[in-house]
Amino acid sequence: MDVREIVADHYGNSGLTATIVNALAGAGLDPEHFAPADLFPLDQLHAGGPDAAKHALDRLEVGPGTRLLDVGCGIGGTSRMAAMAGAEVTGIDLSPEFVETATRLTELVGLADRARFVTTPGESLPLEDASYDAAVMVHVGMNIPDKKSVFAEVHRVLVPGARFAVYDQMRTRDGDLVYPLPWAEDERSSFVESAEDYGRHLEAAGFMVQDVEDRTSSTMGPPPAGPVSNAVVFGPAFVERIGNNVQATKAGLLGAMLVVARA
């Protein structure tokens, strides 16, 4: 298996849309009248939840008419949040199951006219040059061995001067990580790097880094209580994975970092 196959297999989950809809219905929500915010407890597949996604989008000044690229969109949480603000969003992801689920959930909450989803690797985007006003990537880089190539593609599809917000789990010091982690079963598909490494990759791709924020302290609260959470998407193993992530963060090995760059 190459890295892409390992990553796609890690996130692949047949029947995911039905699993999510059933979980929401079991929590008392009407599947015929889901609102975008009803999905927040389970569609924000990253540290800090919806507040972290909103912060990244705010840094990009996403609003009505913004053409936004969501790199590694997962099941579409950040994309739908941007669409709620009036943006025109394209979400791309390596996992066909995630793209299918993102598309269906977006239809269910009435945002399909503002957000579309495409299955594609980030290194070869089927998108026009200079066709987006901003780009965001949320907790994706940990699975990308060649970040420079992905960043170069993002740079290609952005208009000059557009901003790119990258919010990832990043190395804060050296040390062994304990697996499994939320993004990988083992080191074969885990490529965690420091904010300085990200800066070098972004600059090599043509970006200028404008700001680096350590968002770790804002992500250390307890996970949402109740039956609707990221565990619905990732299954029972999520508890162990997120526990290892939390321990690595408390040990000072990992941090939730936001890097903002301009094309």
Amino acid 10: pLDDT? 57
Q: Quote the pLDDT of residue 150.
A: 98
- Closest C-alpha among 108, 177, 126, 122 to residue 151: 122
Q: Which of 198, 190, 200, 139 is nearest to 172 (CA)?
A: 198
Rounded CA-CA distance 114/222 in Å is 32
pTM score, whole prediction:
0.93
Is there a contact between 93 and 102 (Cβ–Cβ < 8 Å)?
yes
Pairing assessment for the beta strands 158-171 and 254-262 based on DSSP bridges: antiparallel
Q: What is the pLDDT of residue 13?
A: 64
What is the pairing mode between strands 132-138 and 158-171? parallel
For the four alpha carbons of 30, 73, 88 and 116, in that order, the dihedral sign comes to negative
Q: Which CATH number fits domain 3-262: 3.40.50.2300, 3.40.50.150, 3.40.50.300, 3.40.50.720?
A: 3.40.50.150
- pLDDT score, position 233: 73
Kindly give, in sequence order, each residue whose CB lies less than 8 Å from that of residue 179, ignoring residues fewer than 6 positions away: 185, 186, 187, 190, 244
Give the alpha-carbon dihedral of 236, 241, 244, 249, to 10 degrees: -120
What pLDDT digit, counting tens, does each position of 86-140 carry? 999 999 999 999 999 999 999 999 999 999 999 999 999 999 999 999 999 999 9
The three-class DSSP label of residue 119 is: strand
In angstroms, what is the C-alpha Rg of the chain?
17
The residues, ordered by sequence, that sit 6+ positions from 184 with a Cβ below 8 Å of its Cβ are 10, 142, 143, 190
Residue 35 DSSP code: -
> Are the C-beta atoms of residues 188 and 181 closer than 8 Å to each other?
no
Distance CA 250, CA 150 (A): 30
Gap between the Cα atoms of 83 and 57, Å rounded = 11
- The better pLDDT of the pair 11, 35 is held by 35
Of the candidate ranges 53-67, 130-144, 207-221, 233-247, the one whose mean pLDDT is the lowest: 233-247
